[in-house]
Amino acid sequence: MDIMGGDFAPEATVSGAILAKEDLNSNAELILIGDQNQIKNILKEKGYSQDYFEIIHANQTIQNGENPAKAFSQKPWSSIKQGYALLEEGRIDGFASAGNTGAMMVGAMYTIKPVAGIIRPVITASIPQFNGDFAILLDVGINPDCKPDVLYQYGVVGSIYAQHVYKKENPRVGLINIGEEEEKGNLVVRSAYEMMKGTKNFNFVGNVEGNEIFDSKADVLVCDGFVGNIILKEAEALYKLLRRKGIKDEYFERFNFENIGGTPLLGVNGNIIIGHGISNHIAIKNMIIHTQYVIEANLSEKIKEAFQ
Amino acid sequence: MDIMGGDFAPEATVSGAILAKEDLNSNAELILIGDQNQIKNILKEKGYSQDYFEIIHANQTIQNGENPAKAFSQKPWSSIKQGYALLEEGRIDGFASAGNTGAMMVGAMYTIKPVAGIIRPVITASIPQFNGDFAILLDVGINPDCKPDVLYQYGVVGSIYAQHVYKKENPRVGLINIGEEEEKGNLVVRSAYEMMKGTKNFNFVGNVEGNEIFDSKADVLVCDGFVGNIILKEAEALYKLLRRKGIKDEYFERFNFENIGGTPLLGVNGNIIIGHGISNHIAIKNMIIHTQYVIEANLSEKIKEAFQ
């Protein structure tokens, strides 16, 4: 876990790590990557021993405003650079960060690299469904312009993620669209539909409209990063409105994006989990637990196999 | 008012017309276009005199499933065809229908035609803002593929609509995007930003993100018809979720799309109002009242002037 990344680091990241350690499987090892003095001070304040965690010292931080590529190459002792180095060396099985998303992407591209055959690695979001389940939405902002074959690949990788991490049998893949019928949509989406409809690589269930995204019509919802980002942020907005109105409800609490942990970067040669900058300690905890699931599922390897 | 169009016609359309007539200005004349026997029977059942409305007889209906272009040309006595004929003749100043949207579009293209200089006529939706106001979102589904100059024109026509119908001074026009900064977005949106940022044709206020669309950051929200349709339908989905959870709230009731009247087709040579198929009698009433506002504002003429 990158301890230096995120708006509330290192306080929230260390607190989240403490919470996570209690819930992780006994064979899981949690390693903190960050400034060891700061980490040890926080542990001390909270009454934990200085060696409660294994720490890899990294005393540089890539801030959110920094140019990702520049910062990644110019800050060798940044937690993000160190995290990728550990992953490349095989010393860790997965790396999670709520830091600069661009730098996390750059790190993946420069070090572990995309899986051969993957056109664009992609990040996802969990969309709470009314029946209590989640659907995986992808892309949510990395690739605002997607060609049809990129959308098709999202169906493949999203399906693998749903199957191996969320343990869904034969996950249903839907295409976000503006109508039920095959001929609806913009040019790219219509071509993607054509590619998806006969596929044997995933269980394509057709179009899913904006008013159906909470209705469990599919386990995986495919769209470009522009549309996915709007969908995700509109859901955030709706949650914010409910809070402002003082409406509390268990279902809608699942839209509380502050608590939502990270999401894997799908399509790279390693298990990378990227979290929101605004992550609080609960989000960090959830992110670490999710990283465990992703490692256990051997997710990046499963995607690699599918593209061999 | 087209009495034959909409899922609950002619019952809901006649009931809506009765409600509207009480609220219209005294100098407004409401003319019903539809099957006169059916209309008169409903009036009779409801205890109104047979000549409570002026009726233009049109005994054919274009159903929702029908091919718009074919139906429009092959059903001369359809209410939609008759409505456009009356508008062309100048016998009515505006025409409203909750019927087949495609046929309404075809009718506009074949008869009154787009305003010279308008690349794509467009429809809008009202998005309730948290502060009690509305923002106008456009496009919401007619043009899923938009070039930058089309988005730019949406800024122009949306601004005119906000100014003359909603009486907003110097309406703020925002561009729906996935980040605050100028360089964010997909290729089309980035080019549209370039075109908008120096414009004197409307008051451009920059990007509006998905989590800000209820925050009154702009009076007019511009996006392509794919994104706009998703935004609108996701808001509908949220309202549906609240209803299922039994949560009632005055603010969220403004998201009740069943009650929302029609929206003008902007950029054609005449005042056309298009409503949802699912319109109930309240929606029909609101649609008729809105048609009055659009006519009073001389909206189609105002847009024509702007493109001269």
| Contact residues, chain B, for A144 at CB < 8 Å | 178, 185-186, 189
Q: Half-sphere exposure of residue A123, counting CA atoms within 13 Å on the CB side?
A: 24
| CB-CB under 8 Å, B145 with A211 | no
Q: For the segment A66-75, what is each residue's pLDDT rounded down to a tens digit?
A: 999 999 999 9
Cis peptide before B114 (omega within 30 of 0): no
A254 pLDDT above the threshold of 90: no
Confidence of residue A298 (pLDDT cuts 50, 70, 90): very high
| CB-CB under 8 Å, B224 with A186 | yes
- Please identify which residue in the block is written with the tokens 């002792």: A77
**Distance of alpha carbon B294 from alpha carbon B264, whole angstroms:** 8
ipTM over 0.90: yes
**Distance of alpha carbon A66 from alpha carbon A59, whole angstroms:** 16
What is the CA angle A167-A171-A176, rounded to 5? 130
Residue A252, pLDDT score: 83
Q: Is B148 helix (H, G, I), strand (E, B) or coil?
A: helix
Q: What is the pTM of this model?
A: 0.94
Residue B246, pLDDT score: 86
DSSP letter for B270, please: S
B129 pLDDT above the threshold of 80: yes
User: End-to-end alpha-carbon separation of chain B, Å?
Assistant: 30
Among A127-131, A205-209, A241-245, A300-304, the range scoring the smallest mean pLDDT is A241-245
Angle between helices B281-296 and B11-23 (to 10 degrees): 50
**Average pLDDT, stretch B117-142?**
93
| CB-CB under 8 Å, B233 with A209 | yes
**Average pLDDT, stretch A89-95?**
97
Residue A220, pLDDT score: 98
Q: What is the DSSP string of B86-116?
A: HHHHTS-SEEEE-S-HHHHHHHHHHTT-BPT
**Distance of alpha carbon B75 from alpha carbon B58, whole angstroms:** 10
Which long-range contacts link A242-247 to residues 24+ away (Cβ below 8 Å)? A244/B130, A245/B249, A245/B251, A245/B252, A247/B247, A247/B249
Q: What is the mean pLDDT of chain A?
A: 95
A23 pLDDT above the threshold of 80: yes
Tokens of A76: 């060798």
**Distance of alpha carbon B298 from alpha carbon B302, whole angstroms:** 6
**Distance of alpha carbon A246 from alpha carbon A242, whole angstroms:** 6
B249 pLDDT above the threshold of 90: no
| CB-CB under 8 Å, B144 with A186 | yes
Selected for mutation to probe chain A from B234, B236, B242 (highest A CB count within 10 Å) is: B234
**Distance of alpha carbon B1 from alpha carbon B60, whole angstroms:** 15
- Please identify which residue in the block is written with the tokens 């026009």: B173
Q: For the segment A36-76, what is each residue's pLDDT rounded down to a tens digit?
A: 999 999 999 999 999 999 999 999 999 988 999 999 999 99
The phi, psi pair for A79, rounded to 5°, reads -60, -35
| Backbone Cα Rg of chain B | 19
Q: For the segment A73-83, what is each residue's pLDDT rounded down to a tens digit?
A: 999 999 999 99
**Average pLDDT, stretch B230-240?**
92
Angle between helices A101-110 and A79-89 (to 10 degrees): 30
| Backbone Cα Rg of chain A | 19
Q: For the segment B281-305, what is each residue's pLDDT rounded down to a tens digit?
A: 999 999 999 999 999 999 999 999 9
Decide if A86 contacts A55 (C-beta within 8 A).
no
| Identity of the residue in B178, B209, B237 whose CB atom sits nearest the CB atom of A144 | B178
Residue A251, pLDDT score: 82
| Cβ atoms within 10 Å, residue B250 | 8
Q: Is B294 helix (H, G, I), strand (E, B) or coil?
A: helix
Residue B244, pLDDT score: 87
Residue A260, pLDDT score: 78
**Average pLDDT, stretch B95-118?**
96
Q: Number of CB pairs < 8 Å for A and B?
A: 113
Residue B251, pLDDT score: 82
Q: For the segment B153-211, what is each residue's pLDDT rounded down to a tens digit?
A: 999 999 999 999 999 999 999 999 999 888 899 999 999 999 999 999 999 999 999 99
